[in-house]
Amino acid sequence: MRFDILTLFPEMFAGVFDATIIGRAREMGHVEIVLRNIRDYAPGKHHVTDDTPYGGGGGMIMKPEPIFNAVEAILGIEIPPDGYRSLLQQGYPPIILLTPQGRLLKQAVARELAVHERLLLLCGRYEGVDERVCQFLVTDELSIGDYVLSGGEIAAMVLVDVLTRLIPGVLGDPEATANDSHSAGLLEYPHYTRPANYRGQTVPDILLSGHHAKLTEWRRQQSLARTLARRPDLLAEAELSEVDRKYLATLQDSSEDEVTP
Ligand code: SAM
């Protein structure tokens, strides 16, 4: 998978993209990341990339020209007057703006995006980008959460990380992501490692029992119980079996018993 990241601060990505899983994925050729400095595409001697907002108000707005120029140069195209969106059908890559106004990045959204061979990620700064960039260039807008960052760079790093994990061959164990929180709509069960007794706190017996079927059942129940306790909103969308539903019902009954005088 290839990412072209359009940013005013390419230097922010060093480290995050060089180490551990993303670094290895790049070395192995699973992922290619090309950092594009938007300033390089800004016309004029001073390569100005931002300006004051029409109508007044504080802050600066990222100008459209450098961003349109960057996309045209990177893809070797001319953006049609009705916008870039029509080029998607011809196989050109999606252009994703990272913005707190976008749809929320969830694991299901990541899976949907992971099918693409190439993505262009646009990082905003200041008060954001000129609206014509959103209307005529960007094909998707993603938010990493309901809060405001200073720029889209950290959001782009999050997106690249989430997508890289989904590329076959990047994680040694292909099953590794199957039980991850949010993969099947639930939170993952708790993990323990050696020692079995740490400061008097012991590991649940089931984990030491070697009983495979019971362990699988325990993990599923822990996953359901955690999700019910911490993120009950997820249960509405999760794939649940009849056995899961019965177990959840017993948990709900017992918690009601606790509060009933
Ligand atoms: N004035 C904008 C608004 O209220 O929608 C916020 C601008 S923010 C200070 C600057 C840039 O950070 C945005 O253009 C966007 O690229 C990025 N950003 C901020 N919060 C984000 C979030 N939750 N998810 C993704 N990108 C975000």
Nearest to 149 by CA among 169, 127, 167: 127
CA–centroid distance, 67 to ligand 1, in Å, is: 16
Instruction: Examine residue 195 and say whether the peptide bond preceding it is cis (omega within 30 degrees of 0).
Output: yes
Q: Of all residues in the chain, what percent carry a pLDDT higher than 70? A: 98
Cα(255)–Cα(19) distance, rounded to whole angstroms? 45
Residue 204 shares a structural domain with residue 123: no
What would the pLDDT profile of 207-246 be if each residue is shown by its tens digit? 999 999 999 999 999 999 999 999 999 999 999 999 999 9
Which protein residue's CA is at the shortest distance from atom 24 of ligand 1? 143
Residue 113 shares a structural domain with residue 208: no
CA–centroid distance, 69 to ligand 1, in Å, is: 22
What would the pLDDT profile of 38-81 be if each residue is shown by its tens digit? 999 999 999 999 999 999 999 999 999 999 999 999 999 999 99
- From the CA of 126, give the closest atom in ligand 1: 10
Q: CB–CB of 98/156 below 8 Å?
A: yes
Which protein residue's CA is at the shortest distance from atom 22 of ligand 1? 100
Residue 152 shares a structural domain with residue 214: no
What would the pLDDT profile of 244-258 be if each residue is shown by its tens digit? 999 999 999 988 777
Question: Over 80: is that where the pLDDT of 260 sits?
Answer: no
Residue 235 shares a structural domain with residue 118: no
Domain count for the chain, please give it.
2
57 within some domain: yes
Query: In terms of residue numbers, what domain contains 234?
Result: 197-259
CATH number at residue 217: 1.10.1270.20
Residue 9 shares a structural domain with residue 125: yes
Residue 122 shares a structural domain with residue 77: yes
Residue 69 shares a structural domain with residue 141: yes
Residue 243 shares a structural domain with residue 151: no
178 within some domain: no
- 30: burial class by Cβ within 10 Å (0-12, 13-18, 19+)? middle
CA–centroid distance, 253 to ligand 1, in Å, is: 43
Q: Is 24 a catalytic residue?
A: no
Which structure tokens are listed for 6? 């359009």
Residue 259: pLDDT band by 50, 70, 90 thresholds? Answer: low
Sign of the CA dihedral with 218 first, then 219, 225, and 229 last: positive
Cα(174)–Cα(172) distance, rounded to whole angstroms? 6
3-state secondary structure at position 34: strand
Q: What are phi and psi of 62, to 5 degrees?
A: -75, 125
Q: Which residues contact 247 (CB under 8 A, 6 or more apart)?
A: 221, 224
Which structure tokens are listed for 189? 């069960």
How many C-alpha atoms does 113 have within 13 Å on its Cβ side?
A: 30
The residue assigned the tokens 């822990």 is 222
Q: Which residues contact 250 (CB under 8 A, 6 or more apart)?
A: none
Residue 212 shares a structural domain with residue 149: no
Residue 114 shares a structural domain with residue 215: no
